[in-house]
Structure 1
Amino acid sequence: MLDIALLPGEYAVCRLAADSALPPDLSGGLSDGDVVTVSWTADGISLICPADRAPEQAVAETAWRCLRVVGPLDLAVSGTLAALVDPLAAARVSVVAFSTYDTDYLLVPAVRLREATAALERAGHRVVG
């Protein structure tokens, strides 16, 4: 069983051109519990952030809710994401997942949040927040 925290507010999944600069205010002033993650590839920049911080020049899909596995998790532990993604896939809930050094995160569509949390709870996890 995993404890999963529901972060406040909605999140955006964004795409920026590979040569874009990130807005300087993106990393500063995050509220407690907020998370921002950035991935660079030759094809572009992927950014996940609170929806109200999405860069204007980005292609953005908004209205996602963010779930954080209460951690920190041991990097040697395997199967954490599978234990979360499998019940969501069975419930046909779309997921965007990412990890940090300390824990794992899942984004689910805001309109499917109730179904997502119910599926996770049926799988034995506890959703708080």
Structure 2
Amino acid sequence: MCRLPAGSALPASLSSGPDDKSVISVTWAPDELSVICPADRVPDGATVEASWRCLRVVGPLDLALTGVLASLIGPLADARVNIVAFSTYDTDYLLIPQVRLTEAVDTLTAAGHRLASA
């Protein structure tokens, strides 16, 4: 997870698109360009927050569904596991700090969620 200054162009390291296993999210906002990408695709000059793991909700999800993220975030918040959530058209993703991954997996499993390795 990283950011670049507001008004930055799409970095060349991201312009070729992901391989078939990568998840890349680029968000332009008035105050920043925020990028979620694999560590080997981090743009030069970016402020980086490293060592996160990505959990993907099996989708595609109907856009009319409610409570999907809440059912994941609630137990993690109760366990005081910090997360970053983002969504695509088809599904939702949670970024979990690597050092909290085991705790997050145990918490989600105890809450009734099934997790599988990619």
Q: Deviations over 1:52-109 (max 9, x none)?
A: 1111211010000000001000000000000000111111110000000000000000
Could you tell me which residue of structure 2 aligns to residue 87 of structure 1?
75
Asked if the contact 1:93–1:112 (Cα under 8 Å) also holds between the matched residues in 2, the reply is yes
Of all paired residues, the percent bearing the same amino acid is 62
- Report the CA distance between 1:27 and its aligned residue: 4.0
Q: CA contact under 8 A between 2:82 and 2:97: conserved in structure 1?
A: yes
2:98 — aligned with what?
A: 110
Q: TM-score, normalised by structure 2?
A: 0.94
Q: How many pairs align?
A: 117
Contact kept, 8 Å, 2:13 with 2:43, in 1: the verdict is: no
Bigger strand fraction: 1
Q: CA RMSD, aligned part only?
A: 1.1
Shift of 1:16: 0.6
- The residue number in structure 2 matching 1:45 is 33
Deviates more, 1:113-122 or 1:14-23: 14-23
Match of 1:60 in 2: 48
In the alignment, which of 7, 27, 30 is matched to residue 18 of structure 2? 30
Q: Which has the higher contact order (CA 8 A, sep 6+)?
A: 1
TM-score, normalised to structure 1, is 0.86
Residue 60 of structure 2 corresponds to which residue in structure 1? 72
Q: 2:87 matched to which residue of 1?
A: 99
Gaps of at least 5 residues in structure 2 are: none
CA distance in 2 between counterparts of 1:30 and 1:39 reads: 16
Q: Which runs of 5+ in 1 are unaligned?
A: 1-12
- Secondary structure of the corresponding residue to residue 2 of structure 2: strand
| Structure 1 residue ranges (4+ consecutive) displaced by more than 3 angstroms after TM superposition | none
